[in-house]
Structure 1
Amino acid sequence: MTRTRKVLIQLATGLLLSTAATGAYAQDAAAKTEAAKPAEKADPAKVLATVNGVKLTQGEVDQASSDLDPQFSRLPDDQRRLAALAALVDIKVLAAAAKGDKLDESADFKQRIEFLKDRALHNEYFQTAIVDKISDEEVRGRYDKEIAAMPAKNEVRARHILVKTEDEAKAIIKKLEGGAKFEDLAKESSTDGSASQGGDLGYFGEGMMVPEFEKAAFALEVGGYTKEPVKSQFGYHIIKLEDKRQQQPPAFDEVKDQVRSILIREKYIEMVKKLRDGSKITYEDEAVAKAMKEAADAQDAAAKTAE
């Protein structure tokens, strides 16, 4: 079973999708791209301000806007642009002061600039070589493939009445045998939050309820109810089975962003491995070299297991 299929199954049973560290690159890139989109295209060459003779253009402001604190993304476009312009003016005046003190000439600063440049190039290449090239059709194709390969599983819709003691539960079962309506008894006697809905728990699959409850619910025929109280850590249950059907997969629109993130993560790992394999990399420290090799082997093994 592939990693994506496992994720889709988890989503189908209401669990949250876990995103690996490499997948965060994709989500961050997508979020920044979306947040930075202006309502309408402005001329990037338009000059918005001049600081000490240096012109600040619309293009520079738009670039700064994409790098602002995520909180700024909630602002309307005009306010975000003004915030970006103000931030850019501050950056320019402080940068000029730093150059006046020759801070840009230190070895530490030059080393940091090289790192920032490499990191920016890393992100740009990642965006253009992977993120921008994944189409909606590719995401849909991956979704369809994984859904088709998912094993068929049943899910049930059940109601229950939860009480504190076995005697209370047995008394309720007698009332059911006498013709009382399950929903009415649930509203009247159940201590569970579903009481106001007549004990309706909706549909659930295997592994979503405590074992005792699940076993009893799946063993019932549609329309039937448990003739003996079912004890769990929460108390005593009387369970009625409303329906049984094949488990429904999550809708495409519900999981398309997660599927896209999985594709991006897989392509990122594949791209990095290919580029590493094609590069000459040496580690001067033997312990470091051993640790890096073990990490790479572990990553390869994890990738094969996920297939």
Structure 2
Amino acid sequence: MKSYRLSVLSAVAFAVACGAASNPDVAATAGNQQLSTTRLAEILGTSQAPLEKDVARSIAELWVNYQLVGMAAAKGDSLTDPKVMQDALWSNLDNIRVKKFYDNVSKGWDAQSPGSDEERYKTGEAYAARHILIKTDQGATPEQIAAAKAKAEGILKQATTANFVSLTARSDEPGAKERGGDLGLFGKGMMVPEFEKCVAAITIGEIGQTVCQTSFGFHIIYRTPFAEVAEKFAPIAKQRNVAIAESTYLAKLETDNAVKIESNATVKAKAIAKNPLGYMKDNDAIATYKGGKLSASRFAEWLAAYPPSSQIRPQLVQAPDTLVDKFVKQIVRNELVLRQADSAKATVDTAEMSNLFLNFKNAVTQTWTSLGIEPGKLADSAKAAGGDKEKIAGAKVEEFFAKLVKNEVPFVDVPYPVARAVQKKYTFGINEAGLDKVIEKAKTVRATSDSLKAKQGGNPAAPGAPAPAPAPDTTQK
């Protein structure tokens, strides 16, 4: 299955497992440990990251996860209770169950064909072309553009289906001569719209009668005959068969279950993307379906389970409302397929469960080791100094965190299942009022830092917290 919160954007102060700090000078708490607004403002203000509340929250959440993992280490709690692990690994377990269900229900999907491969190629289910590009640079003058067009038109006059490959030696595209200008097979939406429109207008096996202008320059295009791409088209056609069958199945599932997206779903979904933890207890529905609903808390769990590298959360925040709506529907479909898998009694077998448990245990151990808070070392330190293991663990985490924000140690990721397990088991809180104060203080810190940098001749500011990765640019083809 593909893995494609409150009315309006009201601020939500939240508490998890016994509550967040109410002290406005505290940004976050984890057990008895506190992250002050002053310290977090210093971290953010001396960094190059945007002075935004969402960034401050992300840093605070990282600090919380480190401290909670430290608490578990101090208590010698390897989080190996089967119920704890199963809850922490819910997304992994669901993926296995869904895959087993899909493997069964999708049998024969690749064989369903709306026509022969050649017929489907002719109707534009996929395109194939060769081209010769005469490039125009950004900022080119009208005279330069006219010259490029004239050059391209000159080549077009000489071009025939017999000599087209040899003429690609005159293309400005790197490597064009070596591959004869071949662009291979490409689906709809894979090329810039102007180019795709030109290709679609050319009769298969012929050369376009006029040059095609795009942001890259001027193209002479030869639309490849089916015989030259038949072998490559066949597997693509099978993939397309599966995609069509899956889309039909999911659409019917959605219709049969009377899926309804709530009117405030888009706004709430974006709010959850900014702050999933803040909605983990919000039971309001953002979508309903026959016999159930997609609650804000469940949607938050789905978002939290996506790896940071997927950039799902920042993309969702920046996405147009229509795409956010589609994403919410996709999560609802995921829920419905899971219900289907339950009805079909698709389960995780003992070997699969054992493997997941082993990986989880290794992740806990690896996180402890990376942070330098292995239970054995904490016990030795406490015995030698006569101290409290939790205090020692907290101090070690603080030491690591201080080095991390200065880029003196490698970043340590707390895997989602581990973070979920410690968040469910131990007390922590993020103070929304404290984060507001952090931003105000960070502005002063940043101004002072910038002033000092200017006096020192533009030396770069302290490394501090790195700026969050931007969402991928989806405007380019």
Q: Normalised by the size of structure 1, how large is the TM-score?
A: 0.42
Which of the two has greater helix per residue?
A: 1
Q: Normalised by the size of structure 2, how large is the TM-score?
A: 0.29
Highest RCO, 1 vs 2 (Cα 8 Å, sep ≥ 6)? 2
